[in-house]
Amino acid sequence: MADSSKGLKRSSAETEGSQDSKRVKTDGGSNGKMGGDKYNPYLAHLDEGAHNGFKSPLDELERHKTTALQAVKAEDSDTNPWTGRPHSQQYFKILKTRRDLPVHKQRQEFLDQYHQNQILVFVGETGSGKTTQIPQYVLYDELPHLTGKLIACTQPRRVAAMSVAQRVANELDVELGEEVGYSIRFENKTSSKTLLKYMTDGQLLREAMHDHDMTRYGCIILDEAHERTLATDILMALLKEISTRRKDLKIIVMSATLDAQKFQSYFFNAPLLAVPGRTHPVEIFYTPEPERDYVEAAVRTVLQIHASEPEGDILLFLTGEEEIEDACRRISLEVDEMIRESDAGPMSVYPLYGTLPPHQQQRIFDKAPEPFRKGGRPGRKCIVATNIAETSLTIDGIVYVVDPGFSKQKIYNPRTRVESLLVSPISKASAQQRAGRAGRTRPGKCFRLYTEKAFKKELIEQTYPEILRSNLSNTILELKKLGVQDLVHFDFMDPPAPETMMRALEELNYLACLDDDGELTRLGDLASQFPLDPALAVMLISSPEFYCSNEILSITSLLSVPQIWVRPNNARKRADEMKQQFAHPDGDHLTLLNAYHAYKGAEQNGEDMKKWCHEHFLSYRHLSSADNVRAQLKRIMETHEIELISTPFQNKEYYTNIRRALLAGFFMQVAMRESSNSKVYKTVKDDQLVMIHPSTVVTSPYDWVVYNEFVLTTKQYVRTVTNIRPEWLLEIAPIYYDLDTFEKGEIKSALTRVTEKVRRRQAMKGGR
Amino acid sequence: MSSPKEDGSDHDYDDIPLQHKRPFGAGLHKKAIAFVPASDTGGQLKSVDSSSVARPLRQDVADLYLSMVMPAEDAEKDKLKPITTPLPLKTRTHSISEEVTPDICPLCNLPLSSEDFVPHEQSFAHQVCLPHSHPPSAIDRNRKGLAYLSAYGWDPDERRGLGAEQQGIQFPVKARVKDDNLGVGMHIPKGLPPPKKKEQLLDAKKVRKMAREEKRRGERLREELFGDGRLGKYLGRGDKGLI
């Protein structure tokens, strides 16, 4: 025993030696002298002797040889092993609840597996505590302060990364941003002290672009891998490759659903560790017949539950904001009637969807209302949610789930180059996940608004991973930057369709990000530095050529955040009037810019911005985040020496320059009006018939417009449009607008006329 | 645990005090949906007994995982199956397969029988299994994206996808616009007329146009049927008795 502990000391001392010099460098020499006058608890492990009396509880641990018992002992100690400060009262309180989590029982088993294997697949249902606990278990085994290699834990969503990091910081009794930090797009809350880092999967991917082997990390945990986001899929392929090069890199793939076999076989038959969640049985019911109207059936089912089922909250899954708000209204009205006529209990109805402001999202955690009188019928709450309540968000108290079997899913069609959100049937896995939400607190019931036969026959097994449903141009740019040569044989878990890949390669080629051999160009390399879509990045990079990079920078940031316009149902008209104040006749991009300039102007005048935004029907939240995005992008531009210039506002070319600059990135998103008195436009090359989205400020019917996005609902719309002139197209994107590549049609003949006109004008000029 | 009947409409009515009962239902909740429970236990989400799962005795994690995924009943059912199947049937099938086994076509794995009218080689199933070339892919050969992919060894006519083993999907996932509220599994049969359109409001202009068209159609019909009147005369009595 004594012998081994001696060996342990020595080995840690060796690593310390190498660590020492590293620290000196990173800390700028200020902490170089050990045992200086200032006591730095973080460096305590480096100079045990200097602070007599302080002995870190971690001293006894040997990297990759720890046991659960040792770790528990370290956690129980009075001093915080990571900061050297004494543990707070709160810490021990949280520690007690942590020990009750299902995963705690398997800590030793986890460590054994972790020591023996490089890659591990970990399955734990929501509520097992895997997201918060496993990274900490790894922390106590990896001891990153000795090696300087961090632990990363990825999350698909920004909010999750932030909130989990905060939670874990509390659990470890450290400041958020110090030992435990997070890093998300446009926000980095880490420091040189950081040992455990929560981040979005996209963020880790961005880091990998500069560090192909992920040398900064000793262990990478991919959480919520079952969601199969685009970035997670790329990361998995990348880590699979890196794992053969870097044998010291540990990888844990965590998934909430029980489809882990696919992950196992993908990662060289990695061993599996499963932890049960705290779930109760859920009884599942189907309708005997298919439903004609699933929204009405859903409302009826909710009311039926309210009338006849014992206490317990209801979760109803619907597809979109409008549908949800409508259902909420109908349910509330009907419940009022039920209360009046049949003495039903009270029910509060809450909507829940992504674009809901946070304080309204918080309301779903309110307690269910009390019964009207003592001993009366119980009150309950009903949450009407999109599929964000399926995996990402956990609401306790739900006993009944109503599942109509639909969700909105993104789908990309490479032939028309349209990415759209469409209502589609969910998968079996998704239906099971939804049902599972009913069994969080006690045995529950799930009412599926379709027949059992339909469940078996019509629903697909698994939801298509995002990579099969997305435009890949951004992905391919990233992969190229990551040094992937052969995209055909790149080992994706679910490789995308060849046509989708081809389309993305072509788009990047037109944007001049890839050359004809598919190699990254200088522009492409630069574009990949920006956390933006390639079209936006290219627009931003080329904006100095149009003397308006300041303005394009603002527009880019405004296009990177959700809609800044607020249009509440009860004040639509006033909201529209306010928007008209900012309106620029030439288009929505310029209107956005006007609103932003007004916002900045009011800010400089020292106005109360929240009030100002409210008065002007603008979203303060989104405008301020656009402001933040702008600052981040500006920093990137400065590091790459992209000039920030503006045309003087008095110059009559001010807006023209901006409109031209838009085309530098979005020349592939142009539509021409069908005929002189129609409202229908046709997109260039893809030949889709579209209308301008009613939210536009453009009133006069322009013949040519550039659009930011294509919205496919019941009609096809283009949203955020700006008027342009066709001759700019030929000038700015001559390769894309090479008339020989156009199919015969109105657009080709119109462009031919324009070419003729330009040629004639030049000839006349030359003649003079 | 309450039975599914409790969700039914009857129960709902029972809760309403007599004096509050309305002569006719107005609320949506009165048109109840009769739910049926899932038929097999496989559809029901199983609770996981954490105490049994977390037993340290269980060494094999794969077993643990399987015990969570596969309900115990199913496994038992599988075990029971071979015993419960009647023996005579088993032997019968066995004897048939013994007779047939020598005569299985190596190409299409179908039994060869001499009783068919057409030789087996000409049968549709056999023909389909023969190696044959597929029509070339419809992808435009001049596309730059294709040039890149084929440079790395992807052939559009090979009917394969991307990926390490070229195992990926061949075609993009299809998007289908859903513009109705039909539930999952509800299909309007093709033969039926499309759902009623919204009633159109008529203005004077439209009414006049409709009347004009009606009149024209009537005239045309009359012309076709009665011609110049001689036909009526020939057929005997006036136009009424014709049909």
Q: Where do the H-state alpha helices sit in B1-111?
A: 9-14, 50-53, 61-69, 72-84, 87-100
pLDDT at B67: 73
pLDDT at A41: 59
Average pLDDT over residues A14-25: 41
Q: Which residue has the tokens 């591990």?
A: A120
Lowest mean pLDDT among A194-203, A483-492, B64-73, B75-84: B75-84
Give the model confidence (pLDDT) of A481-496 as tens digits. Answer: 998 889 999 999 999 9
**B86: closest CA of chain A, how far (Å):** 29
Q: Is the pLDDT of residue A677 over 50?
A: yes
More confident: A85 or A33: A85
Distance, CA of A264 to CA of A226 (rounded, Å)? 12
Average pLDDT over residues A712-720: 85
pLDDT at B45: 53
Residue A188 phi, psi (nearest 5): -130, 115
Distance, CA of A189 to CA of A171 (rounded, Å)? 17
Give the model confidence (pLDDT) of A117-146 as tens digits. Answer: 999 999 987 777 888 999 999 999 988 888
- List, in sequence order, every residue forming a beta bridge with A577; answer none if it has no partner: none
pLDDT at B87: 41
Give the model confidence (pLDDT) of A458-480 as tens digits. Answer: 999 889 999 999 999 999 999 99
CB atoms A488 and B154 under 8 Å: yes
Amino acid, single-letter form, for residue A394: T
More confident: A734 or B33: A734
pLDDT at B52: 40
Distance, CA of A485 to chain centre = 27
CB atoms A106 and B177 under 8 Å: no
A475 burial via Cβ count (<10 Å: 0-12, 13-18, 19+) = buried
Distance, CA of B68 to CA of B160 (rounded, Å)? 36
**What chain B residue is nearest to A454 in terms of C-alpha separation?**
B185
**CA distances to A682, A685, A750 from A745, in Å:** 11, 10, 9
Give the distance between the most distant pair of CA atoms in chain A.
99
pLDDT at B191: 65
pLDDT at A11: 42
**CA distances to A3, A17, A46, A269 from A14, in Å:** 17, 5, 11, 35
Residues of B within 8 A of A436 (CB-CB) are 45
Q: Which helix (H) or strand (E) holds A689?
A: strand A689-692
pLDDT at B17: 64
Q: Is the pLDDT of residue A768 over 70?
A: no
**What chain B residue is nearest to A106 in terms of C-alpha separation?**
B54
**CA distances to A289, B74, B185, B193, B195 from B189, in Å:** 15, 37, 12, 9, 11
> Mean pLDDT across chain A, nearest whole number?
87
Give the model confidence (pLDDT) of A147-162 as tens digits. Answer: 889 999 999 888 888 8
Interface confidence, given as ipTM, is: 0.77
Average pLDDT over residues B208-235: 82
CB atoms B61 and A455 under 8 Å: no
Percentage of residues of chain A with pLDDT beyond 90:
58
Three-state secondary structure string covering A323-379 = HHHHHHHHHHHHHHHHHHHHCCCCEEEEEECCCCCHHHHHHHHCCCCCCCCCCCCCC
Distance, CA of A152 to CA of A194 (rounded, Å)? 10
Percentage of residues of chain A with pLDDT beyond 70:
92
**CA distances to A648, B92, B95 from B82, in Å:** 87, 15, 18
Which of B36, B152, B174 minimises the CB distance to A488?
B152
Lowest mean pLDDT among A53-62, A285-294, B23-32, B62-71: B23-32
Give the distance between the most distant pair of CA atoms in chain B.
106
Best CA proximity match to A349, nearest among A370, A371, A364: A364
Q: Is the pLDDT of residue A661 over 60?
A: yes
B162 touches chain A (CB under 8 A): yes
Residues of A within 8 A of B36 (CB-CB) are 285-288, 452
Contacts of B131 (CB under 8 A, 6+ apart): none
Q: Which residue has the tokens 């000391």?
A: A9
pTM (predicted TM-score): 0.77
**B203: closest CA of chain A, how far (Å):** 24
Three-state secondary structure string covering A105-167 = HHHHHHHHHHHHCCEEEEEECCCCCHHHHHHHHHHHHHCHHHHCCEEEEEECCHHHHHHHHHH
pLDDT at A507: 94
Residues 121-140 of B with CB under 8 A from A: 139
Residues 179-238 of B with CB under 8 A from A: 179, 181-187
Task: Please compute, for residue A550, the number of CA atoms within 13 A of its CA located in the half-sphere on the CB side.
Answer: 11
CB atoms B168 and A492 under 8 Å: yes
B35 touches chain A (CB under 8 A): yes
Q: Would you say A425 and B186 are in contact if contact means Cβ atoms under 8 Å apart?
A: no
**CA distances to A14, A112, A139, B18 from A147, in Å:** 10, 21, 12, 77
More confident: B79 or A181: A181
Residues of B within 8 A of A435 (CB-CB) are 45
Q: Would you say A366 and A395 are in contact if contact means Cβ atoms under 8 Å apart?
A: no
pLDDT at A3: 43
DSSP A98: H
Give the model confidence (pLDDT) of A335-363 as tens digits. Answer: 888 888 778 889 999 999 888 877 888 88
Please count the residue pairs, one from chain A and one from chain B, whose beta carbons lie less than 8 angstroms apart: 291
**B63: closest CA of chain A, how far (Å):** 10
> Mean pLDDT across chain B, nearest whole number?
69
Distance, CA of A691 to CA of A681 (rounded, Å)? 6
pLDDT at A190: 92
Distance, CA of A607 to CA of A472 (rounded, Å)? 43
Average pLDDT over residues A737-747: 89
Contacts of A664 (CB under 8 A, 6+ apart): A538, A539, A542, A543, A545, A546, A732, A733
Which of A287, A499, A717 to probe the B interface (max B CBs under 10 A)? Answer: A499
pLDDT at A441: 83
Task: Give DSSP secondary structure letters for A221-265.
Answer: EETTGGG--HHHHHHHHHHHHHHHH-TT-EEEEEESSS-HHHHHH
Helix %, strand %, coil % of chain A (to 5)? 45, 15, 35
Q: Is the pLDDT of residue A442 over 70?
A: yes
* pLDDT level of residue A4 (50, 70, 90 thresholds): very low
Residues of A within 8 A of B158 (CB-CB) are none
**What chain A residue is nearest to B163 in terms of C-alpha separation?**
A489
Give the model confidence (pLDDT) of A207-262 as tens digits. Answer: 998 899 999 999 999 998 988 999 999 999 999 999 999 999 999 999 877 678 88
* pLDDT level of residue B135 (50, 70, 90 thresholds): confident
CB atoms B29 and A306 under 8 Å: yes
Collapsing DSSP to helix, strand or coil, A706 comes out as strand
Which of A278, A299, A449 minimises the CB distance to B28?
A299
CB atoms A501 and B162 under 8 Å: yes
- List, in sequence order, every residue forming a beta bridge with A550; answer none if it has no partner: none
Q: Is the pLDDT of residue A620 over 80?
A: yes
Which of A285, A334, A467 to probe the B interface (max B CBs under 10 A)? Answer: A285
* pLDDT level of residue A367 (50, 70, 90 thresholds): confident
**What chain B residue is nearest to A517 in terms of C-alpha separation?**
B148
Task: Give DSSP secondary structure letters for A495-539.
Answer: PPPHHHHHHHHHHHHHTTSB-TTS-B-HHHHHHTTSSS-HHHHHH
Distance, CA of A641 to CA of A526 (rounded, Å)? 11
Which of B48, B150, B157, B182 to probe the A interface (max A CBs under 10 A)? Answer: B48
Tokens for B118, please give them. 């057409």
